[in-house]
Amino acid sequence: MIEQIEVDGVPALLAPSNGPAHAGLAFRVGFADEPLTRRGITHLIEHLALHSTGGADYHYNGATGVEYTYFHMQGSAAELGEFLASVCVSLSDLPMGRLATEKDLLQAEANGRNSGSAATMALWRHGARDYGMSSYPEWGLPAITEDDLRDWATRYFTRENAVLWLAGTDVPTGLRLDLPSGARRPLPGRSSALRQTPAWFGGSSGVLVWDAEVPRAARSAVFAGVLDRAMFRELRKEGGISYAAQAGYEPLGAGRAMVTAVADALPEMQGALLGGFVDVLAGLRVGRVDEAEVATVVRKRVEALLHAEEQGARLPGQALNLLVGRDVQSADAAVAELRAVGLAAVVEVAGEASASGLLMTPHERADWAGFTAAPDRSEAAVAGVDYASREQGGAHLIVGSEGVSIASERACVTVRFDGCAIVRAWPDGGRHLVGLDGLMVAVEPTLYEGADDVAERLDALVPAALRVDQPPRDPDRVPKPAPPPARDVAADVSERAYGILALFFRVPLTLLGLIVTVLMASTLTFDTEDVGLTIGIVLFCAGLTVYGGFGIRRSYRRYRGH
Amino acid sequence: MLRAVTRTDAVLLDPTDAYPELRDVRARLAAGDWESVRRMLDEVSPVGRTMLIRYAGTVAESADDGVERLLREVLERDPTDAAAAAMLGTRLTDVGWRIRTQARAQDVSAEQFRQFREWLCAAEAVLIDGTARNPDDPALWTVRLPSARGLEVGLAEVRRRFDRVVPNHLPAQRQMLQQLCPKWSGSWELLHPWCHAQMLATPPGAPQGMLVAEGHIEHCFELPQGTRTDYLTSDSVRDELYEAANRSILHPEFGREFGWVQAVSTFAMVFSLIGDHRSAAAAFALLGELATEYPWDILGDPAEKVRHFRHEAQVGVR
């Protein structure tokens, strides 16, 4: 039973929990609120706010999402109180002395993060704005100032824009949430970069990803479950096309939700993966769904929901609901909504989902399956100064007063200054412009004839607020024109010398692969989360090890002159 | 005397001469009588049904003869009508292939390719829906093979579709055979063992032995002129051809089901090319005046070629 109370003017949900007590403080702010030029600012504030609690010896964390940011901890009532108070103090007075260090930490965290195959979906669906932001790295970090942080915190980390949840017997005595006053911030609009749906674009990871916007409702969640089972059955079990094929459901704002399906395949099976998925989806759309299948999904979801209720795990979701104006839903009501879902409702969602779908194919075209190509080029180039490419068959760079284009005979990509999301600027003259529609023009002076002045010309045209200066690039990362085909340089290196060199790199790399394989494989015995990922990494590293082993043998033979 | 001349000179290439049902189904369709088309389709074997559907769906006179409209109306009334979906899919695919022509890719213009793809996409829209509603219909999955080939969705996807067809469905097997040729996305190393295995999967006397012959014909005509006869008369190819003929058209159980003329006609050409007059004559005897365009059209005018080799076989045996 969830009880609605108020703590220090912050709406709060209290519910008993069978597990240890835990609490969370959430704010209605996330990536979707950030402009690309300040991308990362919410995450940075989250880090700064947690810094002062860093010494404490209890389980806590923070998370920044697309729509919400929250601080969460588990511990005794006294510890919860201490933690929440400390977070609120930090939010009102961010430890700016930590700014540079936390920026570095975020950069490191980003480098180590695997963004996953679904990461680019948001960019294609929404462009470089609002809900498209989750596709982008924290490109705004270098530009974020102390004033920016204070403004952002004042706008979003306020009492009116917060919600608290407590899983335990009581509100910790003397709990204070000393937050500044402000206003509830509504969710940003959902821009679309797609002219028509269902739409497709070709991916590069060999994985198929499909997502669709559906109403936020039990029937949509059941549809996702039915899709998940159909994918497993037809793509994995019977078809043997895919190893990992699954679908999930994620609420989005107050009234919408996203169903996302992901499936992998070996390169030679990718065509069949696309065809198989298209047929799975078509089967659901035309109503070829087993009543028993729907009943199974409903039963499983009811079980999961009741379990979550016991653990207090429904609390965070219900708390976030309050932030977007949804009422708290009791477990009984949620169960009743699930049990009312029948075949017809699932088929109806399948139709809606098919119509709003965005598909990233493993590689190939999906026009034949009724999908429209998602825009990947602009309608027109700007007029302006023209720079010819230094590469054979390369496209022209055009810098005009209204924007920049890269244009070939067949297609062009344009970023207009009045529709620009960010200009990333490097000291070497490189300028990357990203349009609000998600299209990008990379201005690399090294690649164009007589383009030494191009950075200067651009800087005079681009609104200053869009510019984010980047630290110097490694000279190797500054693009160079592709050299005309020449004779193989490697042939100049003697076979023997190459053998020694190769051994020098291959031995440690192979050992590393072996160690990672063994370590990761051993975690399989106790770490039950992300088993799929772990198995994937183990297999990958094992592959590297084997490949390295052969390489060493080859290099050694070469070195010995065999 | 007169009778003998007539018998040896006539070459009936029109499939309706072998299977009068084909003429019948097209007439009923042209009359707009879908109910009677359906009745007919429901009465024949699965292979016969696929053949009738594909024959009726193929553009007979002009693409603008009202057949497409009729089929769309049928589907609007009853989206689960698998035969209508398969026939409409055939029709749209066929219009596309006519625009593309059978020429090699380098001889097809960009505009032809664009329109070709457009028609195939339209066909797939019908067929995806059709197979979704009728996941076990062999005719629908068979029609999805040439559309897949034209859309260049790759061997894995064509195989996936082929695997959805019931086993030993000759029209689908012949489509798959094309896909396994190197000119599409296959290879000879894949094709020949596949043909052999498909044959062995059927009981003796079944027409599937023709797949082995067709595979070798496809292979033979990809070779430089002058080496083709050597290929067909090499020991291994010869052995395979005789094994296949003995297991199909020369087997006592060989029947007269839909597809039999194609099987015998294919072997008649193979035996003619390797100069085995006796076997060729046996095949021509089975055919009587009947024959098929393919594979004789590879040699030139099919009627003329059939007439020539049939005569040669008869003279050679005498």
User: pLDDT per residue over B258-280, tens digit each?
Assistant: 999 999 999 999 999 999 999 99
Q: What is the pLDDT of residue A484?
A: 66
Length of chain B: 318
Sequence letter at residue A429: G
Q: Are residues B206 and B268 in the same domain?
A: yes
For B:155-184, CB contacts with A below 8 A are: 155-157, 159-161
Residue A512 clears pLDDT 60, i.e. is over it: no
8 Å CB contact between A225 and A300: yes
Q: What is the CATH number of the domain that holds B143?
A: 1.25.40
Q: Calculate mean pLDDT across residues A532-547.
A: 46
Q: Chain A residues with CB inside 8 Å of B145's CB?
A: none
- Assess whether B134 and B198 both reside in one domain: no
Cβ A282–B135 below 8 Å, yes or no? no
Same-domain check for residues B217 and B110: no
Query: Which is nearest to A44 in space by CA: A119, A94, A89?
Result: A94
Selection from B110, B82, B114, B146 nearest residue A367 by Cα:
B114
Query: CB–CB of A229/A261 below 8 Å?
Result: no
| Contacts with A, B 81-140, CB within 8 Å | 117, 120-121, 124-125, 128-129, 131-133, 135
Find out whether A440 and A432 touch, Cβ atoms under 8 Å: yes
pLDDT reading at B9 higher than 90: no
Q: Is B118 in the same domain as B202? A: no
Question: Do A245 and A279 meet the contact criterion of CB atoms below 8 Å apart?
Answer: no
For B139-189, write each residue's pLDDT tens digit.
999 999 999 999 999 999 999 999 999 999 999 999 999 999 999 889 999
Q: Which residues contact B53 (CB under 8 A, 6 or more apart)?
A: B41, B83, B86, B87, B90, B139, B143
Residues B130 and B77 in one domain: yes
The yes/no answer to whether this complex scores an ipTM above 0.90 is: yes
Question: Could A364 and B120 be called an inter-chain contact, meaning their C-beta atoms sit closer than 8 Å?
Answer: no
Instruction: Judge if B136 and B191 occupy the same domain.
Output: no
Instruction: Look at A282 and B155 and tell me if their CB atoms are within 8 Å.
Output: no
- Asked whether residue B41 falls in the same domain as residue B92, the answer is yes
**HSE (CB half, 13 Å, CA atoms) of B110?**
0
Candidates A210, A213, A170; CA nearest to A192 is: A213
- CA–CA distance, B293 with B58 (Å, rounded to integer): 16
Is residue B207 in some structural domain? Answer: yes
- For residue B66, being part of any structural domain is answered with yes
Report whether B26 contacts B60 (CB < 8 A): yes
Nearest neighbour of A282 by CB, restricted to B117, B129, B153: B129
**Which pLDDT tens digit goes with each residue over A448-493?**
999 999 999 999 999 999 999 999 999 999 998 887 665 544 444 3
- Mark whether B30 and B161 lie in a shared domain: yes
Residues B53, B163, single domain; the answer is: yes
Contact check, Cβ <8 Å, A364/B128: no
User: DSSP labels for A93-134?
Assistant: S--GGGHHHHHHHHHHHHHH----TTTTHHHHHH-SSGGGGG
Written as one string, the DSSP assignment of A289-347 is --HHHHHHHHHHHHHHHHHHHHHTTTHHHHHHHHHTTPPP--HHHHHHHHHT--HHHHH
Of B142, B169, B196, the last residue of a domain is: B169
Q: Alpha-carbon distance A367 to A359, whole Å?
A: 11
Q: Is residue B182, in this structure, part of any structural domain at all?
A: no
A52 pLDDT band (50/70/90 cuts)? Answer: confident
Residue B76 has a CB neighbour count (10 Å cut-off) of 10
Q: Which of residues 17-36 of B touch A (CB under 8 A)?
A: none
Shared domain check, B191 and B155: no
Average pLDDT of chain B is 94
* A445 neighbors A455 (Cβ within 8 angstroms): yes
B194 with B313, same domain: the answer is: yes
Q: Compute the CA torsion angle A79, A85, A86, A92 (nearest 10 deg).
A: 170
Q: What is the pLDDT of residues A207-233, one digit of tens each?
A: 999 999 999 999 999 999 999 999 999
In a domain, B2, yes or no: no
What is the chain A residue with the closest CA to B164?
Answer: A239
B214 Cα to chain A: minimum distance (Å)? 26
Tell whether B318 is covered by a domain.
yes
Chain B interface mutation, best of A237, A242, A286, highest count of B Cβ atoms under 10 Å: A286
Do B137 and B243 have their domain in common? no
Q: How far apart are the first and last CA of chain A?
A: 76
B299 lies in which domain range?
187-318
Q: Which residues contact A71 (CB under 8 A, 6 or more apart)?
A: A24, A25, A26, A46, A49, A50, A60, A61, A62, A83, A84, A87
d(CA A344, CA A373) in angstroms, rounded, equals 30
What residue type is assigned to position A501 of the chain?
L
**Tokens, residue A167:** 């899983």
Which of B105, B137, B169 is at the close of a domain?
B169
| Cα B317 from Cα A192, distance rounded (Å) | 76
- DSSP readout, A192-248? ---SSSSEEEE-SSS-EEEEEEEESSHHHHHHHHHHHHHHIIIIIITT---SSEEEE
How close, in Å, is residue B159 to chain A by CA atoms?
Answer: 8
Residue contact A283–B132, C-beta within 8 A? yes
Q: What is the pLDDT of residues A316-371, one digit of tens each?
A: 999 999 999 999 999 999 999 999 999 999 999 999 999 999 999 998 999 999 99
Q: Is the predicted pLDDT of residue A505 greater than 90, yes or no?
A: no
Asked whether residue B4 is domain-assigned, the answer is no
Q: To the nearest whole percent, how much of chain A has pLDDT over 70?
A: 85
Q: What is the pTM of this model?
A: 0.87
Domain boundary residue, one of B169, B200, B230: B169
C-beta atoms of A288 and B133 within 8 A: yes
B3 within a domain of the structure (yes/no): no
State yes or no: pLDDT of A537 exceeds 70. Answer: no
Residue B103 in any domain: the answer is yes
Domain count, chain B: 2
Averaged over B225-229, what is the pLDDT?
93
Asked if A430 and A478 count as a contact pair (C-beta separation under 8 A), the reply is yes
CB nearest to B160's CB, from A272, A367, A370: A272
